[in-house]
Amino acid sequence: MTWWSVVRFLHVLSAALWVGGQLTVSLVVLPLARHQLDAERRGRMLTAVGRRFGMITGAVFLPVQLATGVAIAWHKGVTWASLAEPGYGRILAAKLGLFCAVMVAAALHGWANGAGHRRSARALAVASLIGSIGIILLATALPAT
């Protein structure tokens, strides 16, 4: 148990919070809202949920994730060149790429929601969710050594 395990713990915890939050919203909150609320209340509620989640993403998730992620990479001795190497570097690079794509999708989702493009917003939300599950897949594929 070193400080590095604390850093890793924060990294994993924050990822769990974000992906788990998305899953909870998609699988629990949205269907229930759809069934139990009328259109107007639903809209208000969903907007509120989206706003709050966006705030958590921006205020907690992103800073923690970036800081701990960079720290871990530094600890592991990852260099720009090593990102191209097959194995750890390549998987990490793919994971980072996917992370960026997911962030873009999430950001676009927020924009589309605000601009009233409900369908695109929904598609983007789902894409970002699936993508973040993909990130976890890649994270588990990173060799532990």
Partner 1 sequence: MLAGVAVALIAGLSGGLALLIAQVPAPVAFTEQHGPLMALGFLGTLIALERAVALRHRWAYLAPALSGLGAVALAAGAERAGQLALTAAGGWLVGVYVALLGRRLSCETALQLAGGLAWFAGGLLWLAGRPIPELIVWFAAFHVLTIAAERLELAHVVFLRTSARGGLVGAAALLGAAAVLSLADPGLGARTAGAAMVAVAAWLAWYDVARRTVRGSGLPRYAAVCLLAGYGWLATAGALWIVTGLSTGGYLYDAALHALFLGFVMSMVFGHAPVILPALLRVRLPYRPVLYAPLALLHVAVAARVIGDLTAIGPVRTLGGVLSELALLLFAGCAIAVARSRAGHDRKAPAVNPLEVRIQKGPQPLTPPRPRASWHLRANAIVLAWLGLTVAVALAGEALPAPRWLLIHVFLLGAVSTAILIWSEHFTVALLRARTPGRRGSLTRLALLNVATVAILYGVAAGPWQLAAAGATMAVGVVLWHAHTLISLVRHALPGRFGHVIGWYVCAAGALAAGGVLGGLLAAQVGHGETHERLHAAHAQVNLLGWIGLTVLGTLFTLWPTVLRTRMSERTRRASRAGLPLVAAGLAVAVAGLVAGWRWIALAGLVAYAAGTLTALVPLAEAARRRRPHTGAAWMLGASVVWFEIALVADLVIVATRPAGEVAAALAPLLPLVLVGFIAQVLLGSLLHLLPAVLGGGPARFKENAALLERGWTARLAALNLGVPLLALPVPTPLGLLGWALVLAAGAAFIMLAVIALTRARAAEAAKAGVAEGAKAGAAADRPARDREGRGRAWPAVAGVAAGCLLTAAAVVVATTGGAGPQTRVTATGVQTVEVTLSGMSIRPSVIEAAAGTVLTLRVTNADAQRHDLRLATGERTPMLGIGQSATLTLRPLGEAVDGWCTVAGHRAAGMTMRIVPTGTTAHPADPGHTGHSATGTGETGMTGTAGETGTTGTTGETGTTGTTGATGMSGASRPLDLAAPMSPGWTPYDAALEPAPGGTEHAVELRVDDKVVREVAPGVRQRVWTYNGTVPGPVLRGGVGDVFTVTFVNGGSMDHGIDFHAGANAPDGVMRSIAPGERLTYRFRAEFAGAWLYHCSTMPMTQHIANGMYGAVIIDPPRLPKVDREYLLVQGELHLGELGSDAQVAKIREGRPDGWMFNGTAAGYDHAPLTAKAGERVRIWAVAAGPSSGTALHVVGAPFDTIYREGAYQLRESDPGGAQVLDLAPAQGGFAELVFPEAGTYPVVDHTMRQAEGGAHGLFKVGAR
134 binds partner 1 (CB under 8 A): yes
* Tokens linked to 30: 């949205």
Please name which of 133, 130, 108 lies closest in space to residue 121, comparing C-alpha atoms.
108
The binding track of 102-121 with respect to partner 1, each residue x by CB under 8 A or -, is x--x------------xxxx
Instruction: Identify which of residues 60 and 133 has a Cβ nearer to partner 1 in the complex.
Output: 133
Q: State the binding string over 64-93 for partner 1 (x if CB under 8 A, else -).
A: ------------xxxx-xx--xxxxxxx-x
Complex with partner 1: residue 64 or 102, whichever CB lies closer: 102
DSSP three-state, residue 79: coil
Q: Does 141 bind partner 1 (CB under 8 A)?
A: yes
Amino acid symbol at 18: W
How many whole angstroms separate alpha carbon 73 and alpha carbon 63?
15
Per the CB < 8 A criterion, the answer to whether 124 and 108 are in contact is yes
How remote is the C-alpha of 63 from its chain's centroid?
12
- Judged by the rule CB under 8 A, the positions of this chain that interact with partner 1 are 76-79, 81-82, 85-91, 93-95, 97-98, 101-102, 105, 118-131, 133-134, 137-138, 141, 143, 145
